[in-house]
Structures are given as C-alpha cells and as structure tokens.
Structure 1
Amino acid sequence: MADQIPDAPSASDETELRALRDQIDAIDQQLQTLINQRASCAQQVAEVKQRFNQALPAVFYRPEREAQVLRRVMERNTGPLPDQAMARLFREVMSVCLALEQPLSVAYPGPEGGYAEQAVRKHFGLSVRGAAMTDAEQALKAVEQGHCHYAVTPIESAHEGLVSHTLDLFRRYDLRICGEVELLLDPADDKTLAADTRYLVLGKQYVEPSGHDKTSILLSVKDQPGVLHDVLGAFRQRDISLTRLESRTVHQGGDAYSLFYIDFEGHQEDAPVMDLLSELDRGPDTLKVLGSYPRAVL
C-alpha cells in the first residue's frame, strides 16, 4: 500500500505558521542577546573578585549562590516547561558563564561516560573539564595536590547503601564537602543493580549558608552500651533532623570505637547546629566536620 501524502497546509495555516516562526526567531535573538549580557556580567564579577583580595586566589564557584539561583528559577517558573527542565537550562547558562570566569577541572573515579561523570555534568554543567581517575582516592588526591578544583565521588548506592571506601577517605583527607548530587536511575538501564545514586562534591573551600543546607560529620566514640542513644539524644534535644546515619566498629590501640557517619539538616552556622557540634566536640570523642553544603536542587 502506497504511503499517503499528507495534505498541504492551507494558505491561512501557512500564514499563521510563518508568523509563529518569525516570533520564535525574534525571541531567539532576544535570548541570545540576554545570555551574552549575562556572560559579560560574569566577566565583570571575575574582575571585581580578582581586585578585591589580590593576596588570595579568587573563588569563582560559589555552591550556595548557584543553589539559590536555581531554587529561584524553579520558584518563579510559570510553565509550560517543567521546573526541573527550566532549572537545567539555567544550569548550563551558569556553566558557560563560569567557564569565562574560571574553567573548572573536576576529578572523578572513572571510567569516562560512567555514572560518576554523569554526576559531574549534572552538578557543574557541560562546560566543566572532567578528569577521569582510576579510583576515588586518586580523585581526592588530585584536589589535595591542586591538580583539580573539585572531586565528585560516590557516597551512596541504591542497592548497597553507604560506600565504605569513601568513608575511609574522609578520615584520611582534609577536604570539605561542597555539594551533593543525586542521580535518578532507571532500573531498566542499570543491569548490574549496583549504580551509585548519591555523590558528594569535595574541595578546599568553606561554603556559606544557602538557606536549605545539610551538614555531614564523622564521630568516633569509644564503644560502650547506650552510645547510639546518647548520640541521637544530642540531635533530638535540638530538634535537628537526621537524613543519614551509618555506623561501624573500628579498632584503635586495642580499643573498639563506634564510627558514625551522620548527615543532618542545617548549616554549621545555624545556632542549634553550632550548639550541637560544640557538645559533640567535648570530651574524649573525636569529631570531624566534613562540611555544610546546599541540599541537591536538581
């Protein structure tokens, strides 16, 4: 059976289509002009930052600022584009503008094209320079030695829970958590059922409050009955909500210790969190604040 030839649009339809396409072309031109204006502003921001404190390297990537911008984009969005789609568009605009200020290099455990690189692109956009490393430790080492600005490494797997190797690296490297990335994976695309779904961004900078933050800590406490109850009580007394709690036993000098990895809501500059950290840091317990950072937006 021969293919049917679609009816040609009527003259009035063709006129309407031409008018709509002309309108789209005009809007595209306006968008292009505005994007370039935004890029020029970003370049001016870079110049001001470099003049502001010439004794120290300028910090161009501000995780809390980007999170605030993306949240506002979603809050004011009126459609028809979904909030997440609109935010992803702005994510890329910010990515190319940041590349004009300072091209970022981000290390991640390989391979290229894997889930870790997807997490890098989702968080930083397509204009970032990704650097695949043999493993998570090499990624953190690249940041510590100044070869890369940031590292993105897995912290949670949907099917295996906490990535324990990353926890060991947190104890050994003095880097701060600057952000988190959540990957929503289709089980049909994940034949191994071992894909990592939450990643952390690590760097050297302190991140200011964004308004919707998390804090992560490592707490080492001598193993004894009731230790978990005591730790949880400190959070409960201040009405601080936990988002993740993992514990395991480690041995040091012949003694057993409970090592807690805890994520909770709030920033370390918030008064209740400051009070909590002060209490946890007293006595023989060992506290390491891994960082406060914006909650994942996309």
Structure 2
Amino acid sequence: MAKNDTVGNEQDANCTMGTNICDIRQLIDDVDNTILELINRRLNLAKKIGELKKDTGNQVVDSTRESEILKRLTARNKGPLNPNVLHHIFIDIIAAARAIQASQRVAYLGPEATFTHLAATSQFGYSVTYVPQPSIREIFSEVEKGACDYGVVPVENSVEGSVRHTLDLFFESDLFICAERYQPVSYDLLAQEVSLGVIQTVYAHSSALNQCRAWLNQYLPQAELKECSSSAFAVEQAKKQKAAAAIAGVGAAALFGLEAAASKIEDFSRPPTRFLVIGKERVRPSGKDKTSLMFALAHVPGALASALAPITQASINLLKIESRPTRHESWSHFFFIDLEGHIADGSIQQAMDMIRPHALYLKNLGSYPMLGQGV
C-alpha cells in the first residue's frame, strides 16, 4: 500500500470517530487561514508606518512601543496560551514588521548558540541579519561605524567571560543603551531524537561540559564526551550523527532544528545573565523605565555619599551601583548606577544637575524600558 493511501485511510478512520476530528480540523484550518490573513494585514500596516518613519527620520526599532505591545497583549491573554509562548510569537511578528520597514543588522558576541546569540534572538526575532563578533569591543565598533544597527552585549553574570569590559567601553563610546534582556543560563541536551538510550557521544564546549558533568554521569554514564571550540560546532556535530547529542543553551533547539532530549541539565542553577542592546538612538519613555549613569569622583572622603544624596532627596529608587577602576591618571574609579525612571523625568534631570558639581565626569548611558529577570 502506498504511503499516501495509508495516510488517507488514517484520516478516514479519524473522520468516523464520535468527536468528529475532521470537522474540528476544518475549523482549525479556517482559524489558521484567518491568522495568516491578519498577520499579512499587520505587516502591510507596519510597512506604511515604516514609510512614515523614513519621511520623519525616526528609527525603525522602537523598544518602548514593542514593550507596550507585549505588556498589553500579556494583560489581555485569557489562556490557555502560555505567556512565554505569546511573547515569542509576537517577538517574531514584530521582527517581521521591522524587516519590512528596513533591513536590520545586529552584532553579537559569537559564534552562534552563545547565550548572547540567544538573547539577541529573544530581543529581535529571526527576521534580522545577525553578525557574530569575536569581542565586545568589536560589537561596539560595528555599531559605531554603522556596519550594524544594534549590538547585544553581556553586562552581568555572564558565563562567556568577563563582562566588566562592557562597562569600560561606555567611557570611550557615544552609543546608548536601547534595551535590556535577561537570558536564563541553562542548558539543554539537543539531539535528532529525544531518546537518551540512543545517544553514544555528547559534544559540548568545555564550560558547558563542566557545568553539566554530574547530570551526564548520572544519565549518560557510557557516552563519550567530546570538547568543542563552541556550542555552534557541537550542534553541527549532533545534526550530522543520529547517535550524537550536543549541549547548548535553552532555546537553541528551535534555532538549529533539533529536539531537546533533556532540559535544564546544569548541575547548579545560576541567575539569568543581563544583556544590553546598544545603538545610536535615545529611547522615549514607556512609563516604567530604567536610566543608567556613569560618573567619576575625586578620591576624597564622603565623595560618593555627596554624589548619591540628590538621588535620595528626589525619592528616586536606586536599583544598582557598581564601581570599576579607571585608567584615567587623575581618577581612581568609575561608578555605574541604575535608577528607576527616564532621563526625561524632571526628578532625574534635577538629580543629575545636583550630582554634576560633585563629579569629575558624568554621562547618561541611556534610558530604556525596565524588565524583570523573567523576561
């Protein structure tokens, strides 16, 4: 019997069931057709907006508007659609709308399948061109010279090397923070099949192997472990070999067309890594924003307390403070602070005016929609 005949017989059998599967499937097809029509209608409207943006000189990416869309839809969602799934669906729809308005190039700390890459796809979807870079400095450089429209850089809790260099580069750069993104530091075991019993070889970067060793010893004790130069190379090997698997970050399975044979296989959980989207444009207020500042102070007693006093006096929520040694011969440290609010807020502007006399150097790194660590 031909394969098509078998499929047809199965469908006929389903149609005779009491639940009337064929009728339900027809309703699903009708809904799918409507969804397709509505998505194309949305993209045509986005195209018109893109034409207006071009006439007025506005940027294509509007992270405030995109944040508003996701918040509104999440609030309207009655289920059973999972909020995280909703988020991913509309990130891709928004990305497709951006691609119609103008092609976008995004630089990230490569190669593919790094957590920076996964954070970038979470922010921009799959309709942009991603350009891997060997260093954070190169990401800044590509965006500054206009070769890329945006860059995605790690800034906290990264497993891919030091992120303090990111903060240092803001002193040299005129780029702004346009958005933030939190990416879970978690690993999946990716393979062509979900059965652990067929896996004989596991490919992974050395850091991933080290963080998942206890799980591998328990569930795949007979598998051969092979270190790779990158998670992307590991995934490529798993795609070529049916009895092989790769360890990569959560979310990489969809990116490379593999199955997650096991999820969250790391031995110890870690806090999400915070990433920043950097670009040349300032972001308008969203109603719930974060402003990042950097400043240098004289190395004298009470200098930091005097600089922070205006923030307390203005009842501004100080979200974070971090210090970094500076190479400037006259200054000892830079301070980086995150404040709740937008630079357009009168209270933050007033606080900056009061900080400025105490600071040897003061710079606004940008205001952008504030996200929770689960986003």
TM-score range, shorter chain: 0.7 to 0.9
Residues 80-119 of structure 1: pairs in structure 2 closer than 5 A: 80-119=80-119
The 1:48/1:250 distance shift into structure 2, 3 A limit, reads closer
Deviation of 1:21 after TM superposition, in Å, equals 1.1
Residues 244-283 of structure 1: pairs in structure 2 closer than 5 A: 244-250=320-326, 252-253=328-329, 255-283=330-358
The 1:154/1:74 distance shift into structure 2, 3 A limit, reads same
The 1:141/1:249 distance shift into structure 2, 3 A limit, reads closer
Contact 2:177 2:368 in 1 (8 A): yes
The 1:160/1:120 distance shift into structure 2, 3 A limit, reads closer
Contact 1:154 1:196 in 2 (8 A): no
- The yes-or-no answer on 1:35 pairing with 2:35 is no
- Matches of 1:159 and 1:145 in 2, distance apart? 28
Please name the residue that 2:296 is paired with. Answer: 220
Residues 1-298 of structure 1: pairs in structure 2 closer than 5 A: 11-15=16-20, 17-51=21-55, 53=56, 57-157=57-157, 163-186=163-186, 190-191=208-209, 197-250=273-326, 252-253=328-329, 255-296=330-371, 298=375
Deviation of 1:229 after TM superposition, in Å, equals 2.4
Contact 1:74 1:84 in 2 (8 A): no
Please name the residue that 2:7 is paired with. Answer: none
Contact 2:306 2:358 in 1 (8 A): no
- Matches of 1:186 and 1:111 in 2, distance apart? 18
- Matches of 1:42 and 1:110 in 2, distance apart? 30
| Unaligned runs of at least 5 residues, structure 2 | 1-12, 190-207, 212-269
Aligned-residue sequence identity (percent) comes to 33
Q: Deviations over 1:191-223 (max 9, x none)?
A: 556997111001000110011110101010012
AA partner of residue 87 (structure 2) = A
Greater displacement, 94-103 / 257-266: 257-266
Deviation of 1:147 after TM superposition, in Å, equals 0.4
Task: Give the count of matched residue pairs.
Answer: 285
- Matches of 1:160 and 1:92 in 2, distance apart? 26
The 1:219/1:104 distance shift into structure 2, 3 A limit, reads same
Q: Deviations over 1:213-236 (max 9, x none)?
A: 101010100122223322332221
Deviation of 1:11 after TM superposition, in Å, equals 3.6
Query: Could you tell me the TM-score, scaled by structure 1's length?
Result: 0.88
The 1:44/1:256 distance shift into structure 2, 3 A limit, reads closer
The 1:165/1:126 distance shift into structure 2, 3 A limit, reads same
AA partner of residue 177 (structure 2) = I
AA partner of residue 105 (structure 1) = R
Specify the SS of the correspondent of 1:71: helix
Deviation of 1:163 after TM superposition, in Å, equals 2.1
Specify the SS of the correspondent of 2:18: helix
Contact 1:95 1:125 in 2 (8 A): yes
- Matches of 1:195 and 1:263 in 2, distance apart? 19
Deviation of 1:118 after TM superposition, in Å, equals 0.7
- Matches of 1:103 and 1:296 in 2, distance apart? 26
Q: Deviations over 1:108-144 (max 9, x none)?
A: 1212221111111000111111100110101110011
Greater displacement, 197-206 / 239-248: 239-248
Specify the SS of the correspondent of 2:332: strand
The 1:132/1:67 distance shift into structure 2, 3 A limit, reads same
AA partner of residue 223 (structure 1) = H
Specify the SS of the correspondent of 2:357: coil
Q: Deviations over 1:47-72 (max 9, x none)?
A: 22223x3xxx4421111111111111
The 1:230/1:9 distance shift into structure 2, 3 A limit, reads same
Contact 2:14 2:22 in 1 (8 A): no
Deviation of 1:26 after TM superposition, in Å, equals 0.7
- Matches of 2:332 and 2:76 in 1, distance apart? 49
AA partner of residue 49 (structure 2) = V
Deviation of 1:43 after TM superposition, in Å, equals 0.9
Deviation of 1:39 after TM superposition, in Å, equals 0.6
- Matches of 2:134 and 2:161 in 1, distance apart? 22
Deviation of 1:187 after TM superposition, in Å, equals 6.6
Cα-Cα RMSD: 2.4
Query: Could you tell me the TM-score, scaled by structure 2's length?
Result: 0.71
Q: Deviations over 1:171-202 (max 9, x none)?
A: 11110110001002227885556997111001
Contact 1:215 1:293 in 2 (8 A): yes
Contact 2:95 2:124 in 1 (8 A): yes
